[in-house]
């Protein structure tokens, strides 16, 4: 994997799991992602973990609601690199490409990708042989005190 600057990215950790394409599966994906991030040293009190939980919840909910194919699961993949966390959610439907849409006044739904767009440093869609992968990246900011602000509570970081 190469960074936009041309230098290689260093892989730190990877987690992959499949879930049923149900609301319960989406909820479990978020919970398990938070457990995994905690095991990697990012407890729920950290900015990285909170943002990742939000992104996993939104992407998994979209996979269940818009990408569901009966009898097919969706897949969650977390990739921790030195400078970022990449979240990927893959589903079996290729015909529905997610996009941020204009929002109706007082609508009760449709905020998911707006949240992803606001929280993630970058996001996009990659087609697969079967279905698609929606991915989002969170940057691990440099901290002058400890090296990385993503590993502790944001209020403890002066930046």
pLDDT digits (tens, 9 = 90+) for 33-78: 999 999 999 998 899 999 999 999 999 999 998 777 777 899 999 9
| Residue 141 confidence class, pLDDT cut points 50, 70, 90 | low
Residue 115 lies in a domain: yes
**Number of domains within the chain:** 1
CA nearest 133: which of 84, 85, 74, 80?
74
Task: Kindly state whether residue 144 falls inside one of the protein's structural domains.
Answer: yes
- Domain CATH number, residue 28: 3.30.565.10
6 within domain boundaries: no
pLDDT at 6: 55
Q: Both tokens of residue 8?
A: 């290689």
Nearest to 36, CA basis, from 2, 74, 87: 87
Q: What is the pLDDT of residue 66?
A: 79
Which domain does 144 fall in, by range?
11-99+109-156
pTM: 0.77
């Amino acid at each position: 994997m190469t960074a936009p600057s041309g230098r290689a990215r260093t892989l730190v950790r990877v987690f992959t799991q499949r879930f049923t394409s149900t609301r319960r599966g989406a909820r479990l994906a978020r919970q398990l992602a938070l457990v995994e991030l905690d095991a990697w040293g990012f407890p729920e009190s950290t900015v990285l973990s909170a943002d990742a939980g939000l992104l996993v919840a939104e992407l998994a909910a979209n996979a269940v609601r818009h990408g569901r194919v009966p009898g097919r699961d969706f897949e969650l993949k977390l990739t921790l690199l030195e400078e970022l966390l990449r979240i990927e959610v893959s589903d079996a439907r290729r015909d529905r490409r997610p996009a941020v849409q204009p929002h109706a006044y007082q609508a009760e739904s449709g905020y998911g990708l707006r949240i992803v767009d606001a929280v993630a440093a970058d996001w996009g869609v990659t087609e697969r042989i079967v279905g698609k992968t929606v991915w989002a990246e969170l940057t691990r900011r440099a901290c002058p005190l400890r090296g990385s602000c993503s590993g502790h509570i944001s209020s403890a970081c002066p930046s």
